[in-house]
Amino acid sequence: MNRELLDALIQATYETPSYFLEDINNGKRKAIVEGEKLLKDDKLIAVRSDTSTEYFPEHTHDYVEIVYMYQGQTEHIINGEKVLLKEGEFLFLNQKCRQENLPSTDNDIAVNFIVHPMFFENMLNMMSFEETLLHRFIIQCLQGDESRANYLHFRVSGILPLQNLAENLIWNLINDIPNQRKINEATMALLFTQLLNNANEVEYSRDESNVILKVLAYIDNHYANGSLTDLARLMYYDFNTLSKQIKKQTGKNYTDLVQEKRLSQACFLLKNTNLGIAEISEKVGYENISYFHRLFNKTYGLSPKKYRDSVK
């Protein structure tokens, strides 16, 4: 991050609202940080740097918080679990997460994106419709699901495209530019897409009630050669019980979810690499290239070659 952008960001340094600490210490109400205090002029997203070195007591938010660790590291306790956020990493917290920030040093600089759930509505249309960790996370944020207190921790330090997109989003938010909302939505959608490309580096809430996150994480990492049998064994679940739970929570069966992921990854490889179609078919888990062609054409209405020609 260049010095000019960092200086502009620090001018918007997040300070703990005095009313918030008083309410916690005096026990007057629940420890909830309210988005309307931070989102001004009906905006749906805002950014603030967090350079505070002090302990921040347990609290929740009525908005979605995305923490980007610009410099150093910070420790958090999320739903009773200790999470160490290192430089270059992202932490997504939904509205139900219980969060404590542990003391840090003067060299630790975090960036907090304060996001109203409605911000994600248009952004979802820019992303694929496959079931992924992030897609599920956003849907639950939009639904305000009272039973799910979830977080996602992306351990993606050192991945340059993600750092660039985070800085682009920060710049967009601290500068008054035309079409700001559309640009913010598009930038966030690109950021999410890059995070999905690094799904093997994500940790998530170990809340046992949220089985589907574990299922989606497994598919993200093992779509080419995983199986529901192996997944059930890893999760210590009965095969039929897990199968029914997946269907109940997603409306789809395990095979449908794997197929969506495989075809989505095939589209990514067709667009962004020069790999042959047979090699792509094998990479995403289809050894029978004829079957891959039929499935791709049935899903998208054109062959893999025509798809590649249309997006190159």
d(CA 312, CA 307): 9
End-to-end CA distance of the chain: 31
Q: Are residues 108 and 189 in the same domain?
A: yes
Judge if 32 and 114 occupy the same domain: yes
CATH code for position 11: 2.60.120.810
Number of Cβ atoms within 10 Å of the Cβ of 14: 18
| pLDDT tens per residue across all 312 residues of the chain | 677 777 777 776 555 554 454 455 555 555 777 777 778 777 889 888 877 788 888 888 889 999 999 989 999 999 888 999 999 999 999 888 888 989 888 889 899 999 998 888 877 777 665 667 777 788 777 776 655 558 889 999 989 999 999 999 999 988 878 888 889 989 998 998 888 877 667 776 655 446 887 898 899 989 999 999 999 888 877 888 889 889 988 889 999 999 999 999 999 999 999 999 999 999 999 999 999 999 999 999 999 999 999 987
Q: Could you give the number of structural domains in the chain?
A: 2
Could you count the other beta carbons within 10 Å of the beta carbon of residue 231?
A: 20
Enumerate residues 6+ apart whose C-beta is below 8 A from 99: 56, 58, 59, 60, 61, 65, 76, 77, 78, 93
The pLDDT assigned to 13 comes to 57
pTM over 0.75: no
The C-alpha angle with vertex 101 and arms to 121 and 17, in degrees rounded to 5, equals 75
pLDDT at 208: 45
Domain CATH code at residue 280: 1.10.10.60
CA 144 to chain centre: 16
Co-location of 183 and 44 in the same domain: yes
Residues 95 and 27 in one domain: yes
Q: 223: domain range?
A: 211-311
Q: Are residues 125 and 8 in the same domain?
A: yes
